[in-house]
Structure 1
Amino acid sequence: MTAHAVARHSKREVIIETAERLFAERGYDGTSTARIAHEAGVPSGLVFYHFATKLDLLLAIVHERPTPSQVIRSATQGRTVRRRLRAVVAVMAEELERDRAARIIIFREAQARPEIAARGAELFAEATTTVADVLSGADDIVVDREQVQTAAELVVSRVFLDIVALGQAATAAKRHAPMIDLVAESLTTPRPRTEGSSF
């Protein structure tokens, strides 16, 4: 890669990072491309050199992230459901906090923009499927895949709510402990069979 190409790439990244921060703070509609360019320290024309429209810039922010599967699969250590759940919740909380601005943007802008809503749905589906895959590999799992998938949806929703919507990263581990215990118990305790109705 030439020095010129590196410089172009770094300016593009600066624009994305600046827009991400401003969109999270002020909202998409409350942020002009002129403001983005000013705070990024680049000419306004450079924003449109890299992104044809402001919406293209927004889409770059929500698409150019590490995928949930890349992050969550690192939590496969441990042989039990409880250990895997603890690891999953820890890595998800850490990643969501680090990438909180982008997640706030998705959460907020999904209501008005179908493209963002679709991306949010993709990320949620990928996260829940990956969590279910991780939990399904535990030695002590006793339930079927459908129940594991439901548990994964609960875990992902709760962690997202706490970190992104409520901003409670600092107390995440403590707040999630009862959920981890409840989910682990439900996935590892055989349920008694019911043999027909008594009626």
Structure 2
Amino acid sequence: MPRFPSSNARTRTQPSSSRSLSHSALPPPSPRKRLRAPTLHDCSPIPKLDMDQGVRTDLLASQAAFLRAMGNADDLERFARQWERKLPRIVDAAERGLLSQDTIQLCHSVASRVHVLAARLHEKDIVVAGITARITVEVQDYLGAQWSSKFILSTGCRPKPGISSPLPRPHSSQPNDLLLAPYRRWFLDHFAFPYLTAADK
């Protein structure tokens, strides 16, 4: 009688005909990406194009404001304070690469023009101040001479030292001497008898 294996006996698994997958057949794991620190470009809330256009518009507006302020000292002082605060921000944007080459050239052109015009205004102010001072001295001298002449003619007082004015020429006493000569002669002839006699009358 044939013997059959019992159900409790372990059956032997047959090797599979399919090729087993080895570790060498698996694709290599992808390398873990390192976290990159955010750069200034990533942190900037304003895109590069908007920053460039904004700086360009601001430069043109600053140039126009400077030309308008040239005739007023208060406006020039206000522009100088704004320009000092604005220029470092523009330089910082250029160093971060947020400005185009055209905008950088425009910045250089506007800054040079403002510097040249400001220097000429300063030289002009110095010249005008010198001319004004000289004219003021000449006017004061002229008015002082006129006042001194009028004061002498009206009061007969001597002029103040340092102020030259033409003195009035004294009147000649010769006409008075001719008129008084007969009376003087009679007085000398009649000194002993100063009163008129009946014959003299």
TM-score (norm 2): 0.31
Q: Which structure: larger Rg? A: 2
TM-score by length of structure 1 reads 0.31
